[in-house]
Structure 1
Amino acid sequence: MPDPVRLHVCANCPGSGWDRLRAALEDAGLPVALQPTGCMNGCAEPVALALQGADRATYFFTGVDPEADVADILATVETYLAADKGWIADARPCGRLRFCLKGRVPAL
């Protein structure tokens, strides 16, 4: 199983939907740590969310609804974990989140 990754959700954005998202991640058994994070500068389109892991690409999303988009968030995490170095070549499994992507940074 891949090393755990972090799913950062902006703690400053209104409607961050922590409880449902945390429960869904736990139920799915994914090796993901949900991390409340201060402002990630996605204020124009809340909620901001970032996905990162050691030796993996980092993804930054805005305009995410952690409650309504829970299925797409889980699908994105699964796709990320399965991708070589976290580099998602085909984002269609990510559902609506592929349209919320604002940046992707390669691993160091």
Structure 2
Amino acid sequence: MIADLHSDEDLAALHTLTRETTRTVLGDDACRYPFGLPHLTTAYAHGEADSDQAQRILRRVRPGHAPLPVTAVHLVDVTATTVGSTTTITWEPLRTISLRRP
């Protein structure tokens, strides 16, 4: 399930800067997935599922907007491995960069 973020300009700028920096240090192959709209993923399904009921409940949460403080950037190596009809995604943490001022 995905929740849209608003306003997302600052988060999009951070994401763009992070990707540019990662490419500069590790090369273009380090960022191969396409960049989409900033969002917060709250759950993944391992099979076909209907998220309509859960999405309706999330829309009733009030306040409908809440601040999302970002205090660190986590550099992870994401790998998708497909065997037959099953895809497994793994995340290996490589480095954490604090965004807090000393």
Greater relative contact order, per chain length (Cα 8 Å cut-off, separation 6+): 1
Say whether the fold is shared (TM-score over 0.5). Answer: no
**Structure 2 length-normalised TM:** 0.33
